[in-house]
Amino acid sequence: MACPFIDEVVDEGAIIIRRAFQRERTFRDRADPLAFSDYYLHERYRFLREGIAYICRLLSPHITNSTRRNKALTVPQTVCIALRFFASGTFLYTVGDAENISKASVCRSVRIVYLSLKKLLNVFITFPGHRAIHSIKQAFYGIAAFPNVIGALDCTHVRIKRPSGPHEGDFVNRKSLHSINVQMICDADCIITNVEAKWPGSVHDSRIFRASSLSHQLAQGQFSGVLLGDKGYACLPYLLTPYQETQTEAQHNYNIAHARTRARIEMAFGLIKSRFQCLNYLRVIPQRACDIVVACVVLHNIACLKRERQPRMVVEQDWDIEGIFDDNEIGRVIRDSYANNYFS
């Protein structure tokens, strides 16, 4: 015959044991993206809590919803929706499913965020950089002893969907893909100091540089120092390129130091496209693609300045081709003087 008292004691003991081994449940406010752990946030948005909060403070004057509706998106929600799109590069409805909102709300959030970030272009992207120019040169010199460098220059292609209209062919690059050709300059820390995002994929790198306002400023001597570019550019007094064929040991040493120093811009491209997967393929019209690229560059600089975790970098395929412009005579003389004076 069972004893009720013993059964009650056994049941109570079982409950105590289960509670001892049961993890305490923590209920988070899903309406607040910042309520989750840093690991959760970085995996989905590429920024930690502090970084997202900083971006929210920057953009709050531009994206605060003025409606009095109870279900209006908050600033952190709007920012995180856009960051999730930039980080994943997936379809808008996929982002909406993940964030539990409609595709239309995702589209509005992404657009208002990248346009707001574009307004901060001159704040976070400035040439030759936020530090003193001698510090920039010293940082580049510490890489491979290449003196007087104030920036590494190159272009990268960002694929876009086939645009409609009579100028569709202008966006077909030499690999027969539709893209925009984006010029960037970075410092020794892979922080972008100049960006030109407005050219179709068929336009050559050297033409983009020659047409840029920065090229004219350098030609007028407004900046003390030189840029480093690959063999796709013409050698100019303010833009040094490698020797096509080295004939002396000094030229060989120059090319090695040049390649190691200029590699910073390739690293910057890898970091940006690894952090923001949307730049691998943008399913938008060219103008919006250019705005999104600028927004991602601003976010990249914020991530660098806030020392966010770096993603695993994937270096893109080399796009280098022979230059289509003749080298400048003074540029060749200056390049020879660098080789003979610093690398002999």
- Tell me the pLDDT of the chain averaged across its residues: 89
CA distance 16 to 247: 83
φ, ψ of residue 311 to 5 degrees: the values are: -75, 170
pLDDT score of 314: 65
**Average of per-residue pLDDT across 129-142:** 96
255 half-sphere exposure, CB direction, 13 A CA radius: 12
pLDDT score of 327: 81
**Average of per-residue pLDDT across 202-214:** 95
* Residue 310: pLDDT band with limits 50, 70, 90: confident
pLDDT score of 65: 72
pLDDT, tens only, 166-184 = 889 999 999 999 999 999 9
Other C-beta atoms closer than 10 Å to the C-beta of 37 total 11
**Average of per-residue pLDDT across 232-261:** 96
Instruction: Specify the higher pLDDT residue, 171 or 23.
Output: 171
* Residue 25: pLDDT band with limits 50, 70, 90: very low
Residue 19 confidence (pLDDT) above 90: no
pLDDT score of 306: 93
φ, ψ of residue 196 to 5 degrees: the values are: -125, 105
pLDDT, tens only, 32-65 = 888 899 999 999 999 999 999 999 999 999 998 7
pLDDT, tens only, 82-106 = 999 999 988 888 898 888 888 999 9
pLDDT score of 35: 86
Integer CA distances (angstroms), 288 to 114, 118, 158, 197, in order: 9, 11, 12, 11
104's tokens: 């239309």
Percent of the chain whose pLDDT exceeds 90: 74
pLDDT score of 195: 98
Residue 301 confidence (pLDDT) above 70: yes
Which residues have CB under 8 Å from 255's CB, separation 6+? 242, 243, 246
pLDDT score of 283: 94
Integer CA distances (angstroms), 1 to 5, 7, 11, in order: 12, 12, 17
Residue 77 confidence (pLDDT) above 80: yes
Tell me if 294 sits within 8 A of 121, measured CB to CB. yes
- Cα first-last separation, the chain: 102
Q: Out of 213-217, 283-287, 327-331, pick the least confident.
A: 327-331
CA distance 78 to 60: 10
pLDDT score of 93: 86
Residue 320 confidence (pLDDT) above 80: no
Residue 239 confidence (pLDDT) above 70: yes
* Residue 28: pLDDT band with limits 50, 70, 90: very low
**Average of per-residue pLDDT across 302-307:** 94
* Residue 26: pLDDT band with limits 50, 70, 90: very low
* Residue 67: pLDDT band with limits 50, 70, 90: low
305's tokens: 């300045």
pLDDT score of 27: 39
Of 254, 235, 233, the C-alpha closest to 319 is 233
Using the structure block, give the residue that is written with the tokens 């691998």: 280
